[in-house]
Amino acid sequence: MDNIKNKLKSIGKRAIIDFYRFLDNSGALKIYEKILEESIDKNNLPKHVAIIMDGNRRAAEIYGRDRYYGHYLGAEKVRDVLRWARDLGIKVVTLYAFSTENFKRPREEVDKLMELFEKKFYEIADDEEIHEYEVRVRAIGRIHLLPKNVQKAIKYAEERTKNYNKFFVNVAIAYGGQQEIIDAVKKIAEKVKRGEIKPEDIDKELIDKHLYTADLPFPNPDLIIRTSGEERISNFLIWQSSYSELYFCDIYWPLFRRVDFLRAVREYQRRQRRFGK
């Protein structure tokens, strides 16, 4: 019985890959993609799209490869998605790359991820397209928890792009939404202790100014996309996402397509945002 189940499971994985290849080669996907793009109102785009890039390891299983291969595919997908967002006219993209909880994963996996992050930050810093389109790259999170070599790569990317302001990419790495709020509260408490501010001065705007996202344009995401079928935000931008529209997509991140991205934007435009009113 177990052998039969394993065979069926294997056939299912191959069928998924074959189906996507069929769609890509049939031309039908391109037609649908064009219809989707034409249906999008360019005057009602989300300014800030945040993405929870989930499903790398499960995508690797489909290909019968190890989890690092899934992370590699996920990192490669980032380039495509940033291009789609930029070409559509979106100003800011924030990517949830690595949470503080992810440090609890197996040591070998974490080490491989750190190698990948180091490599990708250097690559993005020297990418001709990044400089051609004046993309500013920022990392948000508890950066001091990362290995020194990764911190160095992040600093290099930030320095190389610090004067750009046409398109913004924020990478949430060693990031946790609850910890972000705790860190902000601690900074404010220190200022109260030093007599720089009074307790009665503490309000939403003051907290905003002490978050990791304080000096970012459009810090609050209009749209949050999560791939892989999971329907939760997993401690991501929990302060900033009070009025964000959430979109959950069944597809694993490495298999995420432009049509999936356009669907998310179209769904965002179909919703009526009330902001609590």
Domain boundaries, the chain: 43-270
In the predicted structure, residue 6 carries a pLDDT above the cut 60? no
Sign of CA dihedral 10, 11, 12, 17: positive
Return the ∠ at Cα 247 (arms to 241 and 248), rounded to 5°: 120
The CATH code for residues 43-270 is 3.40.1180.10
Residues paired with 92 in a beta bridge: 48, 168
Q: Is 23 buried (19+), middle (13-18) or exposed (0-12) by CB count in 10 A?
A: middle
In the predicted structure, residue 47 carries a pLDDT above the cut 90? yes
Residue 273's pLDDT band (cuts 50, 70, 90): confident
Backbone angles phi, psi at 136, to 5 degrees: -95, 130
Order of strands across the sheet that contains 223-226: 135-140, 167-175, 92-99, 48-52, 223-226, 245-248
Q: Is 6 buried (19+), middle (13-18) or exposed (0-12) by CB count in 10 A?
A: exposed
Percent of the chain with pLDDT over 70: 90
Average pLDDT over residues 258-262: 97
Q: Is 113 buried (19+), middle (13-18) or exposed (0-12) by CB count in 10 A?
A: buried
In the predicted structure, residue 4 carries a pLDDT above the cut 90? no
Which residues does the annotation mark as catalytic? 54, 102
Strands, E assignment, 86-217:
92-99, 135-140, 167-175
Residue 3's pLDDT band (cuts 50, 70, 90): very low
Reported as a single tens digit per residue, the pLDDT across 172-197 is 999 999 999 999 999 999 999 999 99
pTM given for the model? 0.91
